[in-house]
Amino acid sequence: MATFDYLVFIGRFEPFHNGHRYVLERALAQARKVIVIVGSAGRPRTTKNPWNAEERAVMIRHSIPTSVEGGADRVLIRAVSDFADNDELWSRAIQDQVKRALTEAGDDPAAVRVGLIGHDKDASSYYLRMFPQWKRVEAQSVAMSLSATHVRDAFLDRANEAGNLMLVESAVPPPVFEFLKSFRATPAFAALAKEYDFLRAYREGWSSAPYPPTFVTVDAVVAHSGHVLLVRRRSEPGKGLWAWPGGFLRGSERLLDACLREVREETRLKLPAPVLRGSLKAQRVFDAPDRSLRGRTITHAFFFEFTTGDLPEVRGKDDADKAEWIPLTDFFAMRELMFEDHFDIGVHFLGGV
C-alpha cells in the first residue's frame, strides 16, 4: 500500500536528468500519484532556462520508467511561473496548482495524504521548507552528483563538442538526449550557444578581480496614457528581448541622473529632464543575487507616470535597436519576451498580471 496518495516534486528540470528520474521513481514507489511542478514557466529562453515549460513536460513524460505500472497516468505535470522577490506568491501558486490537480483527479484536497519529495542539496533547496503542511521525503542519489547546471554547460559549450555530448548522453534519460540532439539543429540553440560564449567571456574578463564584482544598474519604468516605454535589446545578453530603458551607473553619477541619461540615450524621449523628474512616483531596489546571468547585478528602478496626453516620439538608439510605446494590456502578455526580471519589475510598479 502506498504511503502517500500524492507526492509533489518541484523543479526547473533544465533539463530533466537521471537524478530527476531517480526521484520520480522513488516518488512513484511511495505514492498513488505524483504531481510534478515545472518551475520558471513563461520565461524567455536563456542559458539558465533554455527550454520552455512545454518542452520540459515532454522530457518528463517520455522519461517515465516503463517498468512502473500505470506510470504515465500516475504523473500529473503542472507549470508555475517565477515571482521575483516574492516567495509568498510563488508558494501560493504551487499550492493552487496542487489543489487544482487533486480536484481535477476527483480527490478531495482535505482528505488525501500529500507529501513533498526532493533533495536538500544546497541553499537553493530552501523551498523544500516552505510547505510544512506536506510531509518531507528526502531523495538523495548518486545519480544527482551531476547537476542540471553541468549538463547545460556541456550542452551549450561548442568547444570539444563530441566529448560534451557524450557527457550529456550519460547524464540524461535516452528520450531526453534524443530531444536535445534535435534541439541543437534549431535557431534557438544557435542563439543560446552564442549567448553562452558571450557570458563566459564576460565573466572571464572579471576573473582577475580580487573579489567577485557587483554591478550597479538603473532602469526606468515610464508609463504614459495607458502605455509603457520599452526598448528591444540590440545585442547579447538577451538580444531581441524587450526591457526597460536602463544601463550601468557611471562613477561620477547619482542614480536618478544615470536613469535619466539612459532614457535619453536609448529612446530619444522628447521630454525635458525636469519634466521627467517631476513625474517620478516611486523607486525600488531589485537585488536578488541571481537576477542577472552576467553576475551579481543590483538595479535601482524608477517609476515615472504621466496619466494623460499624447505619446511623445521615441526612437531606439545606443544599446536599443527599437523603442516603442506598448499598451499596458499587451505588456502583461509579454512575460516570455522580457529580459531577465524586467517583467516582474514592471508588475511591481504597474500592478497585477
What nine digits make up the cell of 112?
Answer: 488525501
pLDDT tens, residue by residue, 121-146? 776 778 889 999 999 999 875 555 67
What nine digits make up the cell of 220?
Answer: 526606468
Task: Name the segment(s) of the chain with CATH classification 3.90.79.10.
Answer: 215-350
Whether cis (ω within 30° of 0) applies to the bond prior to 237 is yes
122 three-state secondary structure: coil
Contacts of 44 (CB under 8 A, 6+ apart): 238, 241, 336, 337, 338, 339
Most confident of 64-68, 176-180, 307-311: 176-180
Residue 83's pLDDT band, with cuts at 50, 70 and 90, is confident
Query: Is the separation of the CB atoms in 8 and 101 below 8 Å?
Result: no
- Per DSSP, the residues of 31-70 read EEEEEEEEEEET----SSS-S-HHHHHHHHHTTS-TTSTT
pLDDT tens, residue by residue, 13-31? 999 999 999 999 999 999 9
Task: Name the segment(s) of the chain with CATH classification 3.40.50.620.
Answer: 4-187
Domain 215-350 has CATH 3.40.640.10: no
CA distance 323 to 325: 7
- Is 304 buried (19+), middle (13-18) or exposed (0-12) by CB count in 10 A? buried
CATH class (in words) of the domain with range 4-187? alpha beta
